[in-house]
Amino acid sequence: MHDSVPARIGRRTALAGAVGASISTAITAPAAASGPTFAIAGAAVFDGRRSLGPGAVVVRGARILAVGPETSLSRGIDIVDGRGKTVLPGLIDAHVHAFGLDADPVRFGVTTELDMFTFLDRLGPYREQRESTAPTRYSDLWTAGTLLTVPGGHGTEYGPIPTVAPDAGRAEIARFVGARLAEGSDYIKVIKDDGTLFGGRTPTLSDRQVGYAIEAAHARGARCVVHVVQQRDALTALEAGADGLAHVPADPMPPEVVELARRSGAFVTATLSVFNALSCAGEADRVLRDPSLAPYLSQRQRDGLSARYRCKPGLFAAARDNVRALHAAGVPILAGTDVPNSGTARGVSVLSELGLLVDAGMSPLEALRSATGLPAQRFGLEGRGVLEPGARADLLLADGDPTSDINAIRDIAAIWRNGRRVDRAA
């Protein structure tokens, strides 16, 4: 603890409700019942949208009290010395398959995950978990639950799931969508993939059925994300009004499809990590050898990163080139990993994904947005992925400056989850 570390916090960031009170009053007179209060001071601040420069983040209990660069901190508040470091929001993985709550993500600063298909009965109390402000080792989950596919289609290989008939019309698909939302899906995931990119052939929804699914989700106020891996299916999903694509296509995207993506306003979740693994392009090996990461990997993470596909050269290069083109056109790109596919692992693969996005032409700042403020905004995750008064105190403190060198995100000095410091060795 330090008596005083210079940091400035703007008055505009005072906690809502402290009308007329100064920041210094708000941060030096915490109510005992609200939990511990501390400040990360002297660090560079990335708030999930932009860099604020040197400043402080003040936390009370599980919430952020203030952020910014204007008032000095003193008078007994616990201080974490952030000099030479950068404080960021906890990261968001916008494409996982969770199959349960897990402590692995949080040890690598990933505090929120967007599940894109799982069996809801395996998730445990995920809704209660994400509403709670109690200390926890687990990431918070939002989920698509059961995806929408046809008998024998992609997704059915993982176990018995409800499907729609191959000739299902608008009414049947609307009933399916309604049933998924009623049982707990936070958004709808649709499959448009005939397997030919990987040398097989599987049944899939028709173009018209994809449109019916998106229409039904939107009619119920839900977002709809479409799994595609080829540009022709991306075209179908974008023309039908999808909110986002769950993968970037891994075959070359013509300029007209890139332009359609731009006009549509849809996002694209890159999942370069899984395409890198599919192509045996080496990112998983890099993680296993990284002295900043390897000591904190669980055996399950090591096993996932060590697992290998039969290599399919060329997929990763095409996917990376498509991310480059989409980003240059102004299409929002989200960071997602598609864990636990071979060559990936929950949590740590997000750090890989950020580096791969920078390699694909994004600036470090843009890549960080893709795993913080942008997915939070696109999925309506209030108080996640941002540093602002009232937001969850899910924080990552990195040595160095990942807004200028993305590799600094791998050198984690500390993590807080719901305002409590995480023991990374546990």
Give me the CATH number covering residue 305.
Answer: 3.20.20.140
DSSP state of 392: B
In the prediction, which pLDDT does 2 show?
35
Taking each helix axis from N to C end, the angle separating 299-306 and 348-359, rounded to the nearest 10 degrees, works out to: 40
Same domain as 305, residue 159: yes
Please give the backbone phi and psi of residue 237, each rounded to the nearest 5 degrees, phi first.
-65, -40
Task: Single out the residue of 45, 111, 50, 43 nearest to residue 369, CA to CA.
Answer: 50
Same domain as 370, residue 289: yes
Same domain as 199, residue 337: yes
In the prediction, which pLDDT does 283 show?
97
Q: Are residues 144 and 116 in contact, defined by beta-carbon separation less than 8 angstroms?
A: yes
Residue 1 lies in a domain: no
Residue 99 lies in a domain: yes
In the prediction, which pLDDT does 77 show?
87
Same domain as 100, residue 19: no
Residue 200 lies in a domain: yes
Same domain as 225, residue 301: yes
Q: Are residues 386 and 376 in contact, defined by beta-carbon separation less than 8 angstroms?
A: yes
Helix locations, 91-169, DSSP H: 126-131
Same domain as 262, residue 332: yes
Residue 6 lies in a domain: no
- Give CA–CA dist 159/162, Å, rounded: 10
For 184-204, the pLDDT digits (tens) are 999 999 999 999 999 999 999
DSSP state of 243: S
Residue 348 lies in a domain: yes
pTM, two decimals, is: 0.93
- The reply to whether omega before 402 is within 30° of 0 (cis) is no
Taking only the tens of pLDDT, the chain with its 426 residues reads 333 333 434 433 332 222 222 333 334 333 333 566 999 999 999 999 999 999 999 999 999 999 987 556 757 789 999 999 999 999 999 999 998 999 999 999 999 999 999 999 999 999 999 999 999 999 999 999 999 999 999 999 999 999 999 999 999 999 999 999 999 999 999 999 999 999 999 999 999 999 999 999 999 999 999 999 999 999 999 999 999 999 999 999 999 999 999 999 999 999 999 999 999 999 999 999 999 999 999 999 999 999 988 899 999 999 999 999 999 999 999 999 999 999 999 999 999 999 999 999 999 999 999 999 999 999 999 999 999 999 999 999 999 999 999 999 999 999 999 999 999 987
Same domain as 97, residue 83: no
In the prediction, which pLDDT does 264 show?
98
Same domain as 145, residue 50: no
In the prediction, which pLDDT does 68 show?
86
Enumerate the β-bridge partners of residue 41. Answer: 56, 81
Q: Are residues 223 and 180 in contact, defined by beta-carbon separation less than 8 angstroms?
A: no
Residue 2 lies in a domain: no
Enumerate the β-bridge partners of residue 81. Answer: 41
Same domain as 202, residue 104: yes
In the prediction, which pLDDT does 34 show?
55
Total domains present in the chain: 2
Same domain as 247, residue 191: yes
Give me the CATH number covering residue 66.
Answer: 2.30.40.10
The structure tokens 């001071």 sit at 41
Same domain as 75, residue 110: no
Residue 415 lies in a domain: yes
In the prediction, which pLDDT does 59 show?
96
Residue 5 lies in a domain: no
In the prediction, which pLDDT does 157 show?
94
Same domain as 78, residue 130: no
**Residues spanned by the domain of 275:** 89-378
In the prediction, which pLDDT does 17 show?
27
